[in-house]
Amino acid sequence: MKLDDLKEFDASKYLVDEESIAIYVNEMLESGDLKALPLALGTVSKARNMSELARKTGISRKGLYQALSEDGNPSFDTVLKVMQALNLTFEIKQKQVI
């Protein structure tokens, strides 16, 4: 088997319920990578329904795909709109020091 024969992993196929979505987004947030949250939201958006999300946020499908892609740089407003449309929220907590 060649490396080219392997299919690309698509996490959106495994985000089947609210719990798995929350765990996935939180893990991506905890990674500390600034690109992780928009990418996670893009993956969740694909799992849910990008057209419905576009309707709820008032942002075009194309705009959502661009903003939530690896090369995207969404505004905080866009991130909040997407999170609200996906019934997600931020919770600010003090980081535990080890």
Q: What is the pLDDT of residues 12-34, one digit of tens each?
A: 887 889 999 999 999 998 888 88
Q: In whole angstroms, give the CA distance from residue 7 to residue 69.
A: 19
The pLDDT assigned to 6 comes to: 56
Q: CA 18, 64, 33: angle at the middle one, nearest 5? A: 70
CA atoms within 13 A on the CB side of 90: 11
Question: Quick one: pLDDT band at residue 96, thresholds 50, 70, 90?
Answer: confident
Residue of 6 and 70 predicted with greater confidence: 70
What is the token pair recorded at 54? 């576009």
